[in-house]
Homo-oligomer: A and B are copies of this chain.
């Protein structure tokens, strides 16, 4: 990819300033990350107080490394960071991630240091992520500047969802959650004080990135100077891939809290809603539905319409799924008469062939396949929610293969809703590994389907306007 952000994500050579053998030091953890087999480049420890780090010769400063350096990661106190930036300038380093805190966020002295960093970056052309950030976690290239110990924060595997966050704590929590749930990620970026690289640079980069299929962003506010540019960039990106924004500071008090947290102008929620809508951005309520929508968008085809078929083995959950769909503006049309007749002949008399199709508690996986096969192919339903309560004894895990076959056959989106304990968790994991999102409540399943409908509309609108 032709971008000056490329050295952040795909460096051949990395210098870690503050690298040490101590497992508890930030620089120590980060340097170790670059020694893992996932990272294919070369990492150089920069530490004037030692001859080597873990047996690898150490250099006094970045400019002392004989080879060219693509990326420098800085994890030393704020006071000496401008000095290191000047050294990077001398060396011709392309990109710098400043993990260290102690800048703008701590007061005027820190702001002065940060301005020095900005000045050097501007004159030298060095791109800077941070300061005061967790940096990058990239499952494609093995770049990992997250410094939290593995005992506290799990590292997720490869996926196609990328996450951008000003908040480092959020990035860490999201990585940790996804590691446990098995949802992979592509590139996760915490950009902290955004002295240089900001959300516009990042959505432009990820917009062109073939390893990113969905972008999720945690955002507190846009600044007056960059807001319009952000929305214009987003509008271009959302024609190609979805952007889901988790917007904090929606309320008056929340907006004040955001100002105190990152200095963000969280502003009027309705203005943001309008602007995001214009830019084709999907708005999440929080990171939970944000990532659940992203999971659906990363695994399922988008929907050509909002007509939802619901198939269930639990009548009550079927009713709640109808409610949830209707409340999101989705349509739950009645089953066509001729198809009802076919289903009546296929199923016992106590099954309901109205939408939601109620297969009842003695169903097996085959009834799901029959109902979906009869109905999802016709131009009457655009997408389906399969409510699969796995406590019932005749339903076996071949439900997974049968649902996958239906999605393949009709290329219409399907998500599952399944709630329960150990057996259900096993079934849900199998569904997700097969690419079918499994959500634990009707409302969350409906929201995932809604995202597939919504992004279908966004793409359709973008297509119409290009014509």
Contacts and interface: CB of A to CB of B under 8 A. Distances in A.
Interface of A: 24, 101, 105-107, 148-149, 151-154, 165-170, 172-173, 176-177, 179-180, 218, 220, 246, 248-254, 256-258, 260-262, 266, 285-288, 313-320, 322-327, 332, 349-350, 352, 354, 356, 358, 361, 389-393, 419-425, 440-444
Given A149-B393, A152-B390, A326 B167 contact: no
B350 A320 contact: no
Given A167-B314, A313-B169, A349-B107, A251 B323 contact: yes
A373 B318 CA distance: 47
B249 A319 contact: yes
A177 to B, nearest CB: 6
Given A441-B287, A443-B285, A179 B314 contact: no
A165 B315 CA distance: 12
Contacts of A288: 440-441, 443-444
A332 B165 CA distance: 25
A397 to B, nearest CB: 11
Contact of A248 (B257, B260, B266, B319): B319
Given A169-B389, A253-B332, A361-B169, A286 B320 contact: yes
A387 B108 CA distance: 28
A386 B165 CA distance: 22
A269 to B, nearest CB: 9
A169 B258 contact: no
A177 B421 contact: yes
B326 A251 contact: yes
Given A153-B421, A260-B352, 14 more contacts: A101-B350, A151-B423, A152-B423, A153-B420, A172-B389, A172-B392, A249-B319, A249-B323, A250-B327, A254-B319, A257-B356, A261-B316, A261-B319, A262-B316
16 contacts: A106-B350, A153-B421, A167-B316, A169-B317, A169-B361, A173-B314, A176-B424, A177-B421, A180-B420, A180-B425, A246-B320, A254-B319, A254-B320, A261-B319, A286-B320, A288-B440
A421 B176 contact: yes
A179 to B, nearest CB: 5
A368 to B, nearest CB: 15
Contact of A361 (B166, B168, B248, B250): B168
Contact of A442 (B106, B286, B392): B286
Contacts of A420: 153, 173, 176-177, 180
Contacts of A440: 288
Contacts of A441: 286-288
A381 to B, nearest CB: 14
A293 to B, nearest CB: 14
Query: Quick one: which of A250, A256, A286, A314 has the most chain B CB within 10 A?
Result: A286
B262 A166 contact: no
Nearest to A134: B361
Given A165-B316, A420-B177, A322 B253 contact: yes
A391 B423 CA distance: 29
A317 B170 contact: yes
Contacts of A356: 257
A389 to B, nearest CB: 5
Contacts of A354: 256-257, 260
Contacts of A444: 288
A323 B248 contact: yes
A285 B179 CA distance: 29
Closest 10 CB pairs of A and B: A169-B314, A167-B316, A251-B326, A254-B323, A180-B421, A261-B315, A176-B420, A176-B421, A154-B421, A172-B391
